[in-house]
Amino acid sequence: MDRIRIRGGAPLNGLIPISGAKNAALPLMIASLLTEDTLELGNVPRLADISSLLRIMSNFGVDHSIAGRRPGQSSETGQTIRVTAKSIIDTCAPYELVSTMRASFWVIAPLVARFGHAKVSMPGGCAIGTRPVDLLIMALAKLGAAIEIEGGYVVATAPKGLHGAEIDFPKVTVGGTHVALMAATLAQGTTVIRNAAREPEVADLAACLIKMGAKIQGAGTSEIVVEGVSSLYGASHDVMPDRIETGTYAMAVAMTGGDLVLENTRAEYLQAALDVLGQAGAEVSSTHSGIRIRRNGNGIQAVDVTTDPFPGFPTDLQAQFMALMTRANGTSRIRETIFENRFMHVQELARLGAHIRLDGDSAYVDGVPTLKGAPVMATDLRASVSLVIAGLVAEGETTINRVYHLDRGFEALEAKLARCGAEIERVRG
Ligand code: UD1
């Protein structure tokens, strides 16, 4: 297995192009199942999760093509994927495939909405908390799908199609909102989704669905209204920038010091995190095509943070922020309210010399003057990249094992950091 080797101490200076968002690309690809026409998606990141989803969809009989690189494009330019779900031969997503990535469970929504039948394995994905799918199933049941659980599979049927419904989510769920939104586009009548997730990825999915002929209002707010249509058509859409990748590199330069421009991204997608970085001592400004983050020799200040659904501080940046706080002046309290058990990075950060105490849903991080390089092991996607951030300032060498987690969610990570001065390389296993 590949490893990432980092020699800490170098500041980050230069420009990092931000990739398309994994968490937007996945639901957008899944939305292609709603139409027999071709959906063309631009700015799709080159990531293991994207390939896994394409594999699952190929199993259904979906055709896809990936456009090669054009003159002038670097390997960091997103790819264009054309997906056509004309004739589906199978509406079953098996355990072996779905267990590698939780978001693939969402295929259940377009399959049952368009074909009246779907059989999808209960999902896997990052081992963060129990991550149930009860609310996704609730939404489909409200829309008129009959649901049965058989041997680890969820079977959803609606031979006469779905109908509009009022869906009140008792808890904000991104996946639940994606599922309800996709299914409602082809349901007969009006659907109202309340307490909907306001994440920008939901708005991006809705923007693409609207191009495909869906009638949707309010995406990006907590109440979405969908007027069902009888069919959708093909469209062309560019995936939004990855706000988690943006925030990760912003935390990295706050950690190492230096001056980074993050290109092709927008501050409004992660304002809460940028505000916190400002309080911690980084200088954040918007440029015409992205965000500039600087930190000079001054230290990092401890800041308390609580994760929340958008527009709050994202849980997907919690581990990275904790890495930053390991070097802060003072103690910061980091509260995780979205997922229980999302503190697996704590013991690995401790191996690098961090002082962190866990108490229920909170981590108390006492900043230390130095971290020391060590071999560490990544346990999930965001935890892995927090170890990279810590390794960038740790004295000596840090080796991060199990890099496949990073490959699921960060495109060309070592190349992007190395170009800005980091001493980082991949060691092929
Ligand atoms: C998505 C993101 C993930 C991010 C998370 C929260 C993708 C591919 N993944 O995950 O990176 O960390 O949003 O921002 O976009 N819940 C239930 N029942 C359900 C569904 C969810 O109780 O049926 C709970 C979860 O356990 C969790 C909370 O709701 O406590 C939020 O989860 P959700 O927003 O659904 O996360 P995902 O969509 O899986």
Exposed (0-12), middle (13-18) or buried (19+): which is 211, by Cβ within 10 Å?
A: middle
Number of C-beta neighbours around residue 424 at 10 A: 23
The Cα 140–Cα 300 span in angstroms is 47
> Per DSSP, which regions of 132-198 are E strands?
146-150, 153-157, 166-168, 190-194
pLDDT tens column, 320-349:
999 999 999 999 999 999 988 789 899 999
The Cα 258–Cα 273 span in angstroms is 18
- Average pLDDT of the chain to the nearest whole number: 94
Number of C-beta neighbours around residue 333 at 10 A: 16
Q: What percent of the chain has pLDDT over 70?
A: 96
The Cα 409–Cα 381 span in angstroms is 7
The Cα 45–Cα 47 span in angstroms is 6
205 closest CA partner among 230, 174, 231, 250: 174
Pocket test for ligand 1, best of 338, 340, 405 (most atoms within 8 A of CB): 338
Q: Does 103 sit in the ligand 1 pocket, CB within 6 Å?
A: yes
Cα torsion angle, 54, 55, 59, 65, sign: positive
Would you list the DSSP string of 227-269?
E--S----EEEEPPB-HHHHHHHHHHHHHH-EEEEEES--GGG
The pLDDT of residue 77 is 66
Ligand 1 atom closest to the CA of 339, numbered from 1: 30
Nearest residue (CA) to ligand 1, atom 13 = 174
**Using an 8 Å Cβ cutoff, are 44 and 20 in contact?**
yes
Q: Are strands 153-157 and 397-401 parallel, antiparallel or unpaired?
A: unpaired
Q: Has residue 71 got a pLDDT over 70?
A: no
Q: What is the mean pLDDT of residues 201-227?
A: 98
Q: What is the mean pLDDT of residues 154-163?
A: 96
277 closest CA partner among 262, 263, 289: 262
pLDDT tens column, 414-423:
999 999 999 9
CA 176 / ligand 1 centre spacing (Å): 8
Q: Does 136 sit in the ligand 1 pocket, CB within 6 Å?
A: yes
pLDDT tens column, 254-298:
999 999 999 999 999 999 999 999 999 999 999 988 999 999 878
Q: Has residue 129 got a pLDDT over 60?
A: no
Query: How much is the CA Rg of the chain, to the nearest whole Å?
Result: 21
The pLDDT of residue 122 is 86
List domains and CATH numbers for the chain.
3-19+241-427 (3.65.10.10), 22-238 (3.65.10.10)
What amino acid positions are annotated as catalytic residues?
126
Nearest residue (CA) to ligand 1, atom 11 = 316
DSSP state of 276: H
pLDDT tens column, 369-426:
999 999 998 888 888 999 999 999 999 999 999 888 888 889 999 999 999 999 999 9
Distant-in-sequence, close-in-space partners of 359: CB < 8 Å, separation ≥ 6 = none
